[in-house]
Each structure stands twice: as structure tokens, then as C-alpha cells.
């Protein structure tokens, strides 16, 4: 049975979604059907298609009581909207259906596990959100909430754990058939940890252990965990709130964290070995991954950040929120590598190549412009003795606006800067990252899609992502060097 709340949301999104012209949206990144989108949810491959659900408030381009939006795709680049899957319509989730994940059951149905939210008045008059874990089961279109919801609540939590910060269940199945679920939570020390729950069937859940504790190392609460095996290692992804900077690796505010290590499936012990940011740009948060039928681990994140949402909100547009490119993951020498999904090559049109171009001052190149672009750029010094001091590429550029990437070989720092992209807000517009470069050589692959840039540095060793809402007429690209640099450019339009 579909509730009145869900029926209304479906009617509303169908009518309002149509009013947004396709040119007003990103072209090959999934954006919200109408209204507001945050985290990817229930990212899965089910019945021959990729499914993406997302945190969704259809009625406004700002965050509100969360629904789950829904879209499907055959190639992860062209998406078709389906009717919203979940609405906050039960006593245990009346103030929101927060983030969660999906899994196929042995009988072919799809299980969604999500966080139910209920606001509770506190003795001091304040309001706190009580969070529990809930289930819905469906066929890829319609989902029915389980009659025994919530399946995990405060009574399942060990001593000292918060019932207010208890969210974002990530499901997976172990080789022995046990269902596992990692949930973000806060222990009494106010830091974050991830709790492991197990189940014989996906419906009855039991607390197992603290899977991984933050101990105040990386921000406070850890949101939206994901966990998987890759290239002989185990990878734990999470998005910490309230981070403090550590060198150029982590920044203030909401960030992303990747822990790589080993996992013993018998004792459920995760032994961390290395840590790093997932994305070194400005707008990337709460990613989820899937295993594709051909065995690739593919990740998609929310291509925004809570700390910088005001960049767009003041515009009064009818949509806000887009997902990142699907990125193929691998682990090499204890590092997470990311590459744009290989199907993106199918969208390439109009190849333009410029080889061995000397850059000193500003240079523009024939055929190199656009806002839906795949551009591979290799930079090196003219000769080894005289190193250039700074190299920059400006894009989404016209007389008034531009966004830039700049690189100073003496510091080995790559900077993304959208200060002049048209923003009127006092938020973070720049971010710097330490990158690997030998003798001033660096390799960048930039993907632009109308409102965003994703920069894959040195074949995916690092990625820097930023959104920019500059008018689309600003489609220039130019290169600059202080000193003398030599570049190779291979550029395609994406369509
Ligand atoms: C992360 C997050 C999740 C929560 C959801 C609410 O971006 O805060 O922890 O489930 O967003 O919309």
C-alpha cells in the first residue's frame, strides 16, 4: 500500500520535474528530479539495472523531511527517474527517512535498510532526533516498510552509545552467508565509531561489536560508512563531521576518510593500516560503492558538501544537488586510486590534440573550450634547468568569470579556485592539495559537466572535485605559465 504522503510526493515530483529543462541540469551526472538532493542511498545493481536512491526533499531546493528519490540506469551515465521510493509516513520515521543501503534477498526482492528519524522534545525545551534502523522490501519500483520496524533501536545499543546519532546502515553479506550491517554512532566520549550488527536473514539483527573507533582522530561523528574488499585489501569509507585540518590531507568541516587495512571475517576484526582523504577538492561527501557485474568497484558520492551548500541555495532554482561521476576504484601500494568510469569514453566527441605546446604567459588553443569536456593535460618544464614557477588552467571562463587549477612545482601544491566563478557567498572557494610531481611534471584529467569539475591527478592518485554555478556562456579554457612550461592537451566534448 502506498501512503498518502508518498503518493503526493510522486505526483508533485512528476509535475515539477518536467519543468526543469535538460540544459539546466548536468548532462551525465545524476541530479535531483526536483527540489533537494543529498547523499546517495541504496546504490545497487538489481534486476539488470543500476539503481540509485538519494536523500530527497522534493518540495523545496533546501533540505527538509527526507524522502528517498529513485533513478535507474543501464550505464551509470544516463539516468531515468523512477517514482520516489520512501516517504516519511510512519510513526518511526515521520521526521525523515535518512541514508541507508540496499541488498538483494535470496527470493529476488530488494531489501532497503535506512535510518528512521523522530524528533523528540528534550527537558530543556530543545529538540533532538531519535534515530533507528528500519527496513523496506520491494521490487525495484515500490517498497513496503516492514511491519516490525524499527529493526534496531536504542535497546540494541551498548552502554554509552547515542540514540540521537545512530544512522546510515551499510549492508553486505559475508562469504558464509551472514548479513552484516555497519552503522555510524557516537560513544560517550563524543567522538565517532562504527557499530557492526549481524543477521541470519536481513530482518532480525543483533549487535556484534564496535567495528572501528574514531577516538577523536578524524573529526567527530562518522557518517555514511561503506566497506568492501578490493585488490587484496579491505577498504572502509566514511564521511566525518567536524574535522580539523591535518596538513594538506584533511580540512576543516565535513570531510571524507578512507581507511585501508585487513579484515578477518571469522573474528570480524578490521586492522587499519593507512588513511587518506577520498577527495581533495571541495564538494564530495557520503559516497557509496557497488560491485558491477563485470567485477569493478564503482563509487558515487554526493557532489556537494554541507559546509558549502549556500553557494547555490541563494539562487532560488528549483533543483539543488548532484552526484559525482561514477569512479572505478583500485588499491595500489596502500592508496585508493580513482578513475572516471570507462563508459565515459563512449560520450567522447570531437577529439582535439595539441602536442608540445610552449606556454609562457597566457595561451588559448583552437578547439579547446566547453562546459562538457574531458581533457587530459600533461605539464612539464621547458627544460630541467629552468623550472617554471607557476602553471594554471582557467576554465568556465569569460570576461567576468573563471575557475582555475594552478600548480607550483616548488611546493608541489595543486590548487583549485572558484573564487571568481560568480559566487556571492563567503564560503570556501579554494582548496590546496599536495600532489606527486617529479621535475615539475604532472598529469591532470579534467571532467567538466556544466556545473562541476572533477580533476583526476596523476592517473587517479588523487581527485579534486568542485561545483561551480557559473553561467554556461562562460565556456573558455586558457593556459598560463609564469616561466616556461610545455603541455600536451587531448580534449573531447562529452555528449
Ligand atoms: C550525511 C547525512 C547522513 C544522514 C543524511 C540526512 O550527509 O547527514 O548522516 O543520514 O545526511 O539527510
pLDDT tens track, the chain, 495 positions:
899 999 999 999 999 999 999 999 999 999 999 999 999 999 999 999 999 999 999 999 999 999 999 999 999 999 999 999 999 999 999 999 999 999 999 999 999 999 999 999 999 999 999 999 999 999 999 999 999 999 999 999 999 999 999 999 999 999 999 999 999 999 999 999 999 999 999 999 999 999 999 999 999 999 999 999 999 999 999 999 999 999 999 999 999 999 999 999 999 999 999 999 999 999 999 999 999 999 999 999 999 999 999 888 667 789 999 999 999 999 999 999 999 999 999 999 999 999 999 999 999 999 999 999 999 999 999 987 889 999 999 999 999 999 999 999 999 999 999 999 999 999 999 999 999 999 999 999 999 999 999 999 999 999 999 999 999 999 999 999 999 999 999 999 999
386 phi and psi angles, rounded to 5 deg: -105, 100
Report CA-CA distances (Å) from 23 to 37, 88, 312, 314: 18, 31, 17, 20
For ligand 1, the distance from its centroid to the CA atom of residue 41, given in whole angstroms, is: 10
Cell numbers at residue 38, please?
543529498
If one residue of 35, 39, 62, 320 were mutated to test the ligand 1 pocket, choosing by the most ligand atoms within 8 A of its CB, it would be 39
Q: Which atom of ligand 1 is nearest to the CA of 168?
A: 10
| Minimum-distance ligand 1 atom for the alpha carbon of 221 | 9
The answer to whether 130 touches 117, Cβ cutoff 8 Å, is yes
Cα 358 to averaged position of ligand 1 atoms, centre (Å): 47
43 and 85 Cβ atoms separated by less than 8 Å: no
Joined together, the cell numbers standing for residue 198 give 549481524
Nearest to 172 by CA among 164, 163, 181, 185: 181
Q: How far apart are CA 43 and CA 54, in angstroms?
A: 9
Provide the 10 A C-beta neighbour count for residue 96.
25
Q: What are the φ/ψ torsions at residue 94 (nearest 5 degrees)?
A: -65, -20
The answer to whether 435 and 422 have CB atoms below 8 angstroms apart is no
User: For cell 593556459, what's the residue?
Assistant: 479
- What separation in Å is there between the alpha carbon of 39 and the centre of ligand 1? 7
Grid coordinates representing 235 are 577498504
Which run of H or E residues covers position 5?
helix 4-17
Closest-lying ligand 1 atom to the alpha carbon of residue 302 = 7
Residue minimizing CA distance to atom 7 of ligand 1: 39
Residues annotated as catalytic are: 39
Taking each continuous run of H as one helix and of E as one strand, the counts in the chain are 2, 31
285 Cα to the center of ligand 1, angstroms: 10
Distance 326 CA to ligand 1 centre (A): 20
Q: Provide, for the chain, the percentages of residues in helix, strand and coil under a 3-state DSSP scheme, each rounded to the nearest 5.
A: 5, 55, 40
Nearest-atom index, ligand 1, CA of 100: 10
Helix (H, G, I), strand (E, B) or coil at 457: strand
Q: Which of 88, 98, 133, 300 to mutate to test the pocket of ligand 1 (most atoms within 8 A of CB)?
A: 98
CA of 54 to the centre of ligand 1 (A): 10
| Chain centroid offset of residue 384 CA | 39
d(CA 216, CA 379): 39
Neighbours of 476 (CB within 10 A): 18
Give, using CA atoms, the residue closest to atom 8 of ligand 1. Answer: 223
If one counts every other C-beta atom within 10 angstroms of the C-beta of residue 80, the result is: 10
Atom of ligand 1 nearest to the CA of 55: 12
Which residues surround ligand 1 with Cβ inside 6 Å?
Answer: 38-39, 55, 66, 98-99, 115, 167-168, 223-224, 285-286
Concatenated DSSP letters of 185-230: E--TTSS-EEEEEEESSSSS-EEEEEEEE-TTSS-SSEEEEEEEEE
Distance 61 CA to ligand 1 centre (A): 16
Query: How far is residue 195's CA from residue 186's CA, in Å, rounded to a whole number?
Result: 9
Q: Which atom of ligand 1 is nearest to the CA of 115?
A: 10
The whole-number pLDDT of residue 314 equals 64
The angle formed by the CA atoms of residues 197, 145 and 67, to the nearest 5 degrees, is 95
Q: Is residue 15 classed as helix, strand or coil in its secondary structure? A: helix
Determine the atom of ligand 1 nearest the C-alpha atom of 184. 9
Q: What DSSP element (H or E) covers 54?
A: strand 49-57
Are 478 and 393 in contact by the 8 Å Cβ rule? The answer is: yes
Stated as kind and residue range, the H or E segment containing 119 is strand 110-121
- The pTM of the full predicted model, rounded to 2 decimals, is 0.98
Most informative mutation of 164, 167, 183, 278 for ligand 1 (most atoms within 8 A of CB): 167
Phi-psi domain of 161 (left: phi exceeds 0; alpha: psi -120 through 50; beta: other) = beta
Question: Cα 480 to chain center, whole Å?
Answer: 31
Which residue has a Cα nearest atom 9 of ligand 1?
223
Cα separation, 106 vs 171, in Å, equals 15
From ligand 1's centre to the CA of 466, what distance in Å? 20
Q: b or e along 322-344 (b: 16 or more beta carbons within 10 Å of the residue's beta carbon)?
A: bbbbbbbbebeeeebbbbbbeeb
> How remote is the CA of residue 214 from the centroid of ligand 1, in Å?
18
- Distance of alpha carbon 490 from alpha carbon 445, whole angstroms: 9
- Residue 88 DSSP one-character state: S
Amino acid at each position: 500500500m502506498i501512503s498518502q504522503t508518498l503518493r503526493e510526493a510522486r505526483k508533485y515530483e512528476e509535475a515539477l520535474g518536467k519543468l526543469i529543462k535538460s540544459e539546466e541540469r548536468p548532462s551525465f551526472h545524476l541530479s535531483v528530479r526536483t527540489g533537494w538532493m543529498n547523499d546517495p542511498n541504496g546504490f545497487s545493481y538489481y534486476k539488470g539495472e543500476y539503481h540509485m536512491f538519494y536523500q530527497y526533499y522534493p518540495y523545496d531546493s533546501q533540505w527538509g523531511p527526507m524522502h528517498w528519490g529513485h533513478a535507474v540506469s543501464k550505464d551509470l551515465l544516463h539516468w531515468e527517474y523512477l517514482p520516489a521510493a520512501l516517504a516519511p509516513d510512519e510513526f518511526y520515521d515521520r521526521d525523515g527517512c535518512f541514508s541507508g543501503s540496499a541488498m538483494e534477498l535470496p527470493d529476488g526482492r530488494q531489501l532497503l535498510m535506512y535510518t528512521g528519524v523522530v524528533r523528540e522534545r528534550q527537558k530543556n525545551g530543545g529538540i533532538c532526533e531519535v534515530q533507528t534502523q528500519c527496513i523496506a522490501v520491494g521490487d525495484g519500483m515500490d517498497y513496503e516498510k516492514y511491519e516490525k520496524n524499527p529493526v534496531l533501536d536504542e535497546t540494541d545499543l551498548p552502554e554509552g552509545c547515542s540514540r540521537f546519532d545512530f544512522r546510515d546502515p551499510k549492508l553486505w553479506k559475508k562469504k558464509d552467508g551472514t548479513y552484516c550491517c555497519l552503522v555510524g554512532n557516537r560513544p560517550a566520549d563524543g567522538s565517532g565509531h562504527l557499530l557492526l550488527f549481524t543477521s541470519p536473514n536481513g530482518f532480525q539483527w543483533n549487535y556484534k561489536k564496535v567495528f572501528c573507533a574514531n577516538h577523536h582522530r578524524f573529526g567527530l561523528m562518522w557518517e555514511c560508512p561503506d566497506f568492501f574488499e578490493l585488490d587484496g585489501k579491505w577498504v572502509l569509507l566514511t564521511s566525518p563531521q567536524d574535522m580539523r585540518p591535518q596538513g594538506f590531507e584533511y580540512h576543516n568541516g565535513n570531510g571524507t576518510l578512507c581507511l585501508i587495512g585487513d579484515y578477518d571475517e571469522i573474528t570480524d576484526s578490521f586492522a587499519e593500516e593507512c588513511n587518506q582523504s577520498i577527495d581533495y577538492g571541495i564538494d564530495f561527501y557520503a559516497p557509496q560503492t557497488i560491485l558491477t557485474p563485470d567485477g569493478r568497484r564503482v563509487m558515487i558520492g554526493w557532489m556537494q558538501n554541507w559546509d558549502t551548500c549556500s553557494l547555490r541555495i541563494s539562487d532560488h532554482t528549483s533543483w539543488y544537488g548532484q552526484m559525482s561521476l561514477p569512479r572505478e576504484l583500485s588499491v595500489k601500494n596502500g592508496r585508493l586510486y580513482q578513475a572516471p568510469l570507462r563508459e565515459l569514453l563512449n560520450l567522447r566527441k570531437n577529439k582535439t590534440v595539441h602536442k608540445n605546446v610552449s606556454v609562457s604567459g597566457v595561451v588559448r588553443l583552437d578547439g579547446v573550450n566547453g562546459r562538457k569536456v574531458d581533457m587530459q593535460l600533461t605539464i612539464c618544464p621547458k627544460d630541467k634547468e629552468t623550472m617554471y614557477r607557476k602553471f594554471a588552467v582557467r576554465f568556465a571562463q569569460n570576461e567576468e568569470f573563471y575557475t582555475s587549477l594552478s600548480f607550483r612545482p616548488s611546493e608541489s601544491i595543486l590548487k583549485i579556485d572558484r573564487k571568481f566563478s560568480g559566487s556571492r557567498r563567503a564560503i570556501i572557494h579554494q582548496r590546496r592539495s599536495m600532489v606527486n610531481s617529479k621535475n615539475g611534471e604532472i598529469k591532470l584529467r579534467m571532467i567538466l559537466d556544466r556545473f562541476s569539475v572533477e580533476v583526476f591527478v596523476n592517473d587517479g592518485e588523487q581527485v579534486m572535485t568542485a561545483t561551480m554555478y557559473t553561467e554556461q556562456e562562460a565556456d573558455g579554457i586558457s593556459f598560463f605559465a609564469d616561466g616556461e612550461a610545455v603541455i600536451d592537451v587531448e580534449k573531447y566534448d562529452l555528449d
